[in-house]
């Protein structure tokens, strides 16, 4: 089972694009709103070293930003 987490904020356009893109692949993910959850925000910085969103973790592989080709590679589609 593939595990996907997307650390995002409600106002981030790249977060929305990433979530829409992953959903279009028929894959489910856990959305983590770092604007309302300080603990999640700290966890995001710990796994990515970044404060920017989106941070996407697919099966333990972390990427910062929205990159279709990297997402496809990590999803193995």
- pLDDT value at position 2? 85
Average of per-residue pLDDT across 45-66: 96
Convert the pLDDT of each residue in 5-25 to its tens digit.
999 999 999 999 999 999 999
CATH classification of the domain holding 31: 3.40.30.10
Average of per-residue pLDDT across 26-43: 96
- What does the alpha-carbon distance between residue 37 and residue 30 come to, in Å, rounded to a whole number? 14
Longest dimension (CA), the chain: 33
pTM above threshold 0.75: yes
Domain count, the chain: 1
**Which domain, by its residues, includes 65?**
4-75
Average of per-residue pLDDT across 38-44: 96
């Amino acid at each position: 089972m593939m595990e996907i987490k997307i650390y995002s904020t409600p106002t981030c356009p790249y977060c929305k694009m990433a979530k829409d893109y992953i959903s279009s692949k028929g894959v489910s993910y856990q959305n983590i709103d770092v604007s309302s959850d300080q603990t999640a925000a700290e966890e995001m910085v710990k796994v990515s070293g970044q404060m920017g969103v989106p941070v996407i973790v697919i099966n333990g592989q972390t990427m910062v930003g929205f990159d279709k080709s990297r997402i496809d590679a990590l999803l193995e589609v």
